[in-house]
Amino acid sequence: MTRAQVLGFRVRAQQLDREAGTVGDTAVLDLGVQDSGPDGGRWALALRGVRTDELSERDLVALWTIRGAPHLYRRADLPSVAAAVAPFSDADAGKRIYDAVKPLKAAGIGNLEALDAVAAAMRSVVTEPTGKGAVSGAVATLLDPPYLRFCRSCAATHAYEMPFRLAAVRAGLELQPDTSPPVLAPIDGFVTSAEVPERYDVIRAYLRLLGPATPKDVSGYLDSAVSEVKARWPSDAVEVSVDGATAWVLAADADRLLDGPPSVTRLLGPFDLFLQARDRTLVVPDPARRKELWPVLGRPGAVLHNGEIVGSWRPRKAGTKLTVLVEPWGRPSAALRRAISPEAERLAAHRHAHLAGIDIAR
């Protein structure tokens, strides 16, 4: 199969081609919707037809989960999500918590044991909505030296960042919406499922939404080890060839790979799931364009047009006025210019702003 068919499959699997939907039937919420920046999780849902202005805290919950990033989920799915995002094993936990492993190992503390210890400390501290800085400071007084590091930027000693973030779900803590710095709060009646329902299995969800893919792609997305992902690879994943390269997709989805990309234009946020695929050379073949779209800091959004990323975009807001700056990769066609206009209007409405203009380079 071709690259175009794969990208078309992902557009449809992620429901970027639909005009209306609900939280309950939005597929990307099974894996989680990264909620970073002003054009984060709720904008991603709006692009998939969800009326975000009608949502409340009863519908969605924000958690630090995959890669320690904030993600939105259905609140009703909390027990399943908590089980699904937990490390697969002690070794896997070690991969996910990065540089915190070395002092823990030296002290004879297991990685999962460490996450539980940090979670217990956080749970005892956060009995009401509390800012991250206050939580971090209080937790540091409850933990032993192997859990702590000195941070030069804030001239303070606190828990290692990744164990702190990944332990929050284990502690039954959520992130309050639209808070920066983040505010953590206890989740009422929090429980974790004993088993992970198939729908929320993160490996299956990646294949369902970002397939065809390889174990390396999935491990990169999860910050896990390839061996951990291979050990849990779905038995119903089937091998396919994508422009000569081997990848896998769930058997139930194989026939859906044959269609071409739908005719749709979207202004994807910088961390939209479509852009989270780890096979970036397939998504954007040109290395210079990849560098533009995924810089180390300050990612732009991406212009999705008929299954292809055809440019980048950035918002410029002044008061209640919003200008959308578009950098197309090539001379923009009249059709692309026409298609961008309603999407920019949608973005302005989502931001409760007035669209002052669309500045398309060239």
Tell whether 173 and 209 lie within a shared domain. no
Q: What pLDDT score was predicted for residue 57? A: 86
d(CA 114, CA 249): 35
Structure tokens at 64: 């630090």
Cα–Cα distance for residue pair 346/352, rounded to 1 Å: 10
What does the pLDDT look like over 189-237, one tens digit per residue? 999 999 999 999 999 999 999 999 999 999 999 999 999 999 999 999 9
| Same domain membership, residue 81 and residue 164 | yes
How many structural domains comprise the chain?
A: 3
pLDDT of residue 246 exceeding 80, the answer is yes
Residue 70's pLDDT is what? Answer: 98
245, 105: one domain: no
Does residue 83 have a pLDDT over 90?
yes
Same domain, 83 and 126: yes
Starting at the earlier edge strand, list the strands of the sheet with 60-64. Answer: 33-34, 70-74, 60-64, 173-175, 183-186, 130-131
In the predicted structure, residue 155 carries a pLDDT above the cut 90: no
How many Cβ atoms from other residues are within 10 Å of residue 74's Cβ?
16
- 273-332 pLDDT, tens digit per residue, is 999 999 999 999 999 999 999 999 999 999 999 999 999 999 999 999 999 999 999 999
Residues 338 and 234 in one domain: no
Mean pLDDT of 131-138: 96
- Count of CB atoms within 10 A of residue 95's CB? 20
Answer yes or no: do 130 and 17 share one domain.
yes
pLDDT at 260: 81
C-alpha dihedral (82, 83, 85, 89), degrees to nearest 10:
140
156 pLDDT exceeds 90? no
Do 66 and 179 lie in a common domain?
A: yes
What integer best gives the mean pLDDT of the chain? 96
Question: Which pLDDT value is given to residue 35?
Answer: 97
Structural domain boundaries enclosing 242: 201-258
Same domain, 212 and 278: no
Same domain, 58 and 112: yes
Q: Which of 349, 269, 344 is nearest to 360 (CA)?
A: 344
Average pLDDT over residues 116-132: 98
- What is the C-alpha separation between 362 and 273, in angstroms, rounded? 28
Q: What is the mean pLDDT of residues 83-106?
A: 97
Beta bridge partners of 238: 249
